Amino acid sequence: MSHSESHVLDELHVQSHSDASHGSVKDYLIGFVLSIVLTAIPFWAVMSGTLSKPTTFACVVVMAIVQIWVHLKYFLHLNFKTEDGKASSLSFIFSALIIVMVVGLSVWIIYESNAMMMY
């Protein structure tokens, strides 16, 4: 085998490895169906009014958390199975933490500033 043939085979191997990190059509369809179901359940709970307000609120919050997990797993392909997956997941968690801190602390500062102005 010549050098160019082995180089082409190496490129195909690397390309097939990088394609493995992307989801399949099956994964996207599972994520899509789960997203629709996880949206329809709280919508039904709010629109029907059959559940009490605290139960409806809990249903909406739980479904939102599960839907966040579904989006991270099936659409963003975050996992802890591979080294790349661990690095991507940890960088996402770190970024989310920084965003929550910046927004939360900004709201806290604005609220406290407003409270000081009212005295």
Q: What is the pLDDT of residues 62-100, one digit of tens each?
A: 999 999 999 988 998 888 788 888 888 889 999 999 999
Q: What is the pLDDT of residues 7-41, one digit of tens each?
A: 555 655 555 455 555 778 999 999 999 999 999 99
With contact defined as beta carbons under 8 Å apart, do 42 and 60 qualify? yes
The pLDDT value given to residue 88: 86
Report the pLDDT averaged over residues 43-53: 95
Rounded Cα distance between 24 and 75, Å, is: 10
pTM for this prediction: 0.65
With contact defined as beta carbons under 8 Å apart, do 58 and 43 qualify? no
